[in-house]
A and B are shown apart, each in its own frame.
Chain A
Amino acid sequence: MADIKVALVGNPNTGKSTLFNLLTGLNQKVGNFPGITVDKKVGYCKLAEGRTAEIIDLPGTYSLYPKSKDEGIVFQVLADKSNSSYPDIIVLVADATNLRRNLLLCSQVADLGLPMLLVLNMTDMARKEGIHINVNMLAKRLGIQVVAMSARKNDGLETLKKALANTTNISTQINGVDANLFASEAISAVKQKINIDNDYYALQVLHQHEHLTFFTPQEQQEIEAIEKEFGFESSKLQGAETVARYRYLSTVLTDVIFDTGAERKFKNTDKLDRILTHKFWGFAIFLLILFVIFNAIFSWASYPMDIIEGAFGWLTTVGHERLPDGLLTDLLLDGVVAGLGGIVIFVPQIAILFAFISILEDTGYMARVTFMMDKMMSKVGLSGKSVVPMIGGLACAVPSIMAARNIESWKDRMITIMVTPLVSCSARLPVYILIISIIIPSESVWGIINKQAIALMFMYLVGIAAAVIVAWLMKFLIKAKEKSYFIMELPVYRMPRWKNVALTVYEKSKTFIFEAGKVIIAISIVLWVMASFGPGDRFEKIDQKYATALADTTQNTDHINSLISSEKLENSYVGILGHAIEPAIRPLGYDWKIGIALITSFAAREAFVGTMATIYSVDGGDEDTGTIRERMIASKNSVTGLPIYTFATGISLMLFYAFAMQCMSTVAVVYRETKSWKWPMIQLVYMTAMAYVAALVAYQFLK
């Protein structure tokens, strides 16, 4: 248990997360805020005299009045004394190169009356730009400790730790703006009704109570009634407050800040922007960067993926050799280990993608991409900010849907969440690769371009095109709650902070393994049970049928064993399910075996290859695609005697996988993000319907 709880609050782009990483190092974790479904970053830090502090990194915001879901967390945590994240001390992180705007939030937080201190970050940059700040005078005027730092250069950390240790639980700040200037009657009414002693807190409650979950319905009604009684005009009062705060800050900053070279700061950024947001070069460079990312995901990641695959294969083989035969061993190795291998295999790709995304964000380039793409994206009902989740969707929809939180407009955010799973994620890759290797010959066009690579790229383009078209349709179907807007800071370009990048990659990979892992392991076990057992005495009958053949030593027992296992699979619970859905999928060109794969893939697409491996009873799981491939090519339709995996079936199957919502983790995360079953259900239905129709049309045209 930590001795004190510290919350980091500040504007975006102030180096808040760098400071968080500096304070906590690897000693951090991602958790949940009680009652709020948003990730909470928590870490621990040792202070003097053996005391430890729990550090909570709150999302960056420009004001306590939130514009996005992420920003709303800040006040929700600071407002709720019973919340387990409620801090003892607030550390307000401000960018010294843009102090006045940063202090707006500082003065709002200060007026809430919690003990706090101010960190002036990036003082080295400010000095370089000719900005001088009189730290002592600022501290005196605000009535709190002010620590000048440069988190990037590891400068001032010890001073901050000392200051934290010195902070008592009595707040010392001087009140900035009197909240009673704005709605004094409503404030005193609220204070009386729900036992609040801070004026500004009461004002904030009046503004934001709809979003605060800790008030009882009765309290909510009472606050609502007070608003009506005194004609509380939220927007107007917020505007008046902002003006009053800036006026107050002008007084605070007189003779505190000396800016001698405001222009110098933008010189390099200006030069870079001229190229990076250029009409032609801007897009060319963006495409080039995307190409590099793609290439990295597909080629660099293949080395670690091969190693992981080999390791899990080895583990299964050795496990089967060493462990006693039996149900438990089978469950452990073929259920749990196989399932685990299926997740860990994606970690290299996810790590590479997140490394690139975090470098692009850290340098300030991502903001420019958003700036360039906004016009195009807003045409189809998205926002420039949807670019980040859509690119992330190439790796995995789960973190990407969470990344959509910083899209302010509700409608833009919903559409982004609804279409992101259509972008081909890395789980579809093994499916595409397996099927393409079956139906497309490995030949080159003009000697250099591989036909299989073209087919793969085509599948990715199909996914992106589908996302764009669906977004455009949803633009007309979804009713907006508020106007969409796009007001965003363009930060100056900076070198990426490699430590931040490394920590982001580590965090995201860890979250992926644990979040997706839980689901996939559960599914693997269920699947294993359903594939290993059948109703009644069907399994015994199969055993009896082959008993004599097995006893005959002149016959190849391996062959008979594989006949047994495939017959058992057909008679197991999944086999029966596969047969049951066969009439529905026959028009798409599938048989009951593909039916089983479709069922298992509804939990997670990556189950396809593994299921195929089991169905075609290839020993050793999915590390030997070559063999599954050969068996799949050889497989014939039991009725017509024609090969099953024709070009038509292959395309139909790939289109089905491109569109269908076959990922329980995504369904779960959409539920978590939208807080209702409505959206994940709509998504599940529309994607599955689209997949069915596309596969049907493709098969009927091509067969």
Chain B
Amino acid sequence: MAGVLQGEVLLPEQIADLLGLEGALGAAVGALIGAFVVGNVMLAFTGVAGPWAKRKITAAFTDRIAVNRIGPFGLFIIIADSVRLLSKELIIPDGADRPSYDLAPLILPASAMLGFAVIPMGSLGPFNIQLADPEAGLALVFAFASIASISLVMGGYASNNKYSLMGGLRAVAQNIAYEIPLIVTAMSVVVFTGSLQLSTIVAEQSTTLVSIAGVSIPAWFAFVNPFAFVLFLVANMAEIGRNPFDIPEAPTEIVAGYQTEYSSVYFVLFYLGEFLHVFLGGAIMATIFLGGPAGPVLPGFVWFVIKIWAFFLFTQWARSALPRVRIDQLIEIGWKGMLVLSFANLVLTAIIVGVIA
């Protein structure tokens, strides 16, 4: 069991130690290098996911072959696609509101990257991959994740396009409706752990729930409270805007929503940002419901990667099979269904924890 225990040395300090630097300089250099490494790993994931894995997975669901010409399994399409996307002309509409039009595509990936700072990603060899472990880690990660909707509104508004505007407005409505159930459901986990610190939440899940025929099932909160897990899964899908809740983009209705007017590099940034958010959503799920980096045999980091990719796969699976709900239905499900259920879940959890403890 490669769980990360509270108080373990974090990645920046380890790097500082390795380089023999101390004090403020060590902390700064360590943090920079650590952030660089983690950020690039995540970007690499999105690089694989966007141009290649998404195509391959969709193709599998739809009985097609998909990219297979360039490189092994068509993997080099990633390079070809990057060159293609980056070399396209950047078209900026006449009436665009410049600073915010330019900032929007930066905010989306940046907010997702920030979120990864506090996620405990387990250990790989001697390294414990977590950049920071603040007391209020869970609150922080939700705060970072929800900055995304600001980017969507900015992009939608600044594009000076009616479809973009509608996409941006839809994004806000959706985010408000699903943020609350999302966080309230996450709170039910906090009721168990009594801490917002992510490493504590992960550590709490490393105990054994039950042992069946010698196989011990860990006390992952997905097993402890499957109802909360399902609620969180649905709210998370809506939060990151994946099918069946992809209404801010809704290609057949409002063309491409907030990103209609974005091309070239800006489009790449939006695209990256979306995938980063999917992975961040997966990382949050893994951390608070699936035992973080816990898992047998393989190193913790590998398990962590498997879990976030599993979540990515799930979003693609849902994309292939589920119709999109309508905006009013989405809001209705959010306010009338999810909100009530998530509070019920919180109260029930609190009662159960109160009775047991």
Chains A and B form a bound pair: no
Residues on A facing B (Cβ under 8 Å): none
